[in-house]
Amino acid sequence: MSGNRPSSKKPNGNNTSQGMMQPTWEFTRTHDDRILSLLETGFQSDLTLQLGSEGTKVPVHRIFLQAGSPVLNGKIKTSMEELVIDNVDSRIFKIMLKYLYTGKSSVKMGDALQLMQLATEYEINGLRDDCATVLKGDLTCKNVLGLFQSGMEYAHGEFIQSTLKFICTNAQKILKRDEFPNLRLECLIEIIQQDSLRITSEMEVFQAVNRWGLAECTRQALDPENSENLRK
């Protein structure tokens, strides 16, 4: 989760250092281009974000942030000039900012999961849904368990159902995956209670659950030879 705190440092309202010229504004550009240019140039900005451990400074316009994210709306105060947001990847956060300005996303697979987490945290549902759509288009037996757990964590119902459907269709392979024993308990229960698991025998489910139980005993420093521990 990212941390946020106001800073006493004063921002530069127009993304310029003292003594430097204001950014040139192109009034003849299209409306969409001008909106994006506001973010890219910091023209007439009224708030500065300081992002991540590197302290990347981004001049922004608070109205876009407050109108697009209830979380940011609650954090940005009238008298605030700079907002420090810790523990975030500044590159990913800038992608989210672009969405807040333009309402458009061009999410890449490599960024989708991290961006979905951020969009969920800041309650930007449109961006969260766009990320889920991208992720659903690249489900594999290798990545589906991790993505399913993320969907459960972020409480994205549609994405959870999409990953569950894939798991059920490919259950014989997925139940044997090396990462299956690493599932969180609630995720394990959600999977094994599905009626549409495509398996040839209930023994496949039993063996998968047994593997999970042995791994859980190790995680909790319990003796796996004691059958009572496996039942817990």
Decide which of 138, 165, 187 is a domain's last residue: 138
- pLDDT given for residue 229 in this prediction: 59
Distance CA 78, CA 59 (A): 16
Give the count of domains, the chain.
Answer: 2
Decide which of 113, 138, 163 is a domain's last residue: 138
CB contact set of 159 (below 8 Å; sequence gap of 6+) = 132, 135, 136, 147, 151
- pLDDT given for residue 23 in this prediction: 64
How many CA atoms, within 13 angstroms, populate the side-chain half-sphere of residue 18? 2
Going by pLDDT thresholds of 50, 70 and 90, the confidence category of residue 225 is confident
Q: What is the mean pLDDT of the chain?
A: 88
Are 66 and 12 within one domain?
yes
- pLDDT given for residue 14 in this prediction: 46
User: Residue 185: phi, psi to the nearest 5?
Assistant: -55, -45
Tens of pLDDT, residues 10-31: 444 444 444 445 567 788 789 9
Going by pLDDT thresholds of 50, 70 and 90, the confidence category of residue 224 is confident
CB contact set of 140 (below 8 Å; sequence gap of 6+) = none
Decide which of 115, 138, 161 is a domain's last residue: 138
* 121: CATH: 3.30.710.10
CB contact set of 97 (below 8 Å; sequence gap of 6+) = 39, 49, 58, 60, 65
Q: Taking residues 194-214, what's their average pLDDT?
A: 95
Tens of pLDDT, residues 148-172: 999 999 888 889 999 999 999 999 9
- pLDDT given for residue 58 in this prediction: 95
Least confident of 13-22, 62-71, 98-107, 109-118: 13-22
Are 7 and 104 within one domain?
yes
- pLDDT given for residue 186 in this prediction: 96
Q: Which domain holds residue 92?
A: 1-138
Are 171 and 79 within one domain?
no
Tens of pLDDT, residues 125-141: 999 999 999 999 999 99
Are 167 and 79 within one domain?
no
Least confident of 50-54, 71-75, 87-91, 226-230: 226-230
Are 167 and 185 within one domain?
yes
Are 11 and 63 within one domain?
yes
Q: What is the CA radius of gyration of the chain?
A: 23
Are 115 and 54 within one domain?
yes
User: Residue 73: phi, psi to the nearest 5?
Assistant: -60, -35
Are 129 and 147 within one domain?
no
- pLDDT given for residue 6 in this prediction: 54
